[in-house]
Structure 1
Amino acid sequence: MRRGPFRAGTFTSPLHEPRTAVVLGRWLGAALLVCFLTGLTSHLLQDPPGWLAGHLPARPVNGYRFTQGLHVISGTAAVPLLGAKLWTVYPRLFEWPPARSVLHGLERLGIAVLVAATLLELFTGLLNTLQWYPWPFPFRQTHFWLGWLATGGLLVHLGVKAPLIATHWWRRAAPALAGRRAFLTATTAAVGTVTLVTAGQTVPWLRALDLLAPRRPDVGVQGIPVNRTAAQAGTLTVPADWGLQVDGPQPYRLTLAELAELPQYEAELPIACVEGWSASARWTGVRVVDLVRLAGAPAGSALRVTSLEADGPYRVMEMPAPYADDPLSLLALRINGQELTADHGYPARIIVPNRPGVLQTKWVSRIEVLAR
Structure 2
Amino acid sequence: MDRRNFLKKAGTFSGGAVAATGLAAPAMAQSAPEVRWRLTSSFPNTLDTIFGGAETLAKAVSEITGGRFRIDVFPAGELVPGLQALDAVQDGTVEAAHTACYYYVGKDPTFAIGATIPFGLNARQQNAWLYHGGGNELFDTFLEGYGVKGLPGGNTGVQMGGWFRKEINSVADLSGLKMRIAGLAGRVVEPLGVVPQQLAGGDIYPALERGTIDATEWIGPYDDEKLGFYQVAPYYYYPAFWEGGLTVHFLFNKEKYEALPAEYKAALDTAAKAVNVNMLALYDVKNMQAIRSLVGKGVQLRPLPRDILDASYDSAMKLYASLSASNPKWKAVYEPWSQFRSQSFEWFRVAEYSYDTYVYSQQAAGK
Q: TM-score range by the shorter chain?
A: under 0.3
Q: TM-score, normalised by structure 1?
A: 0.25
Q: TM-score, normalised by structure 2?
A: 0.25
> Greater share of helix residues, 1 or 2?
2
Bigger relative contact order, structure 1 or 2 (CA pairs below 8 A, ≥6 apart): 2
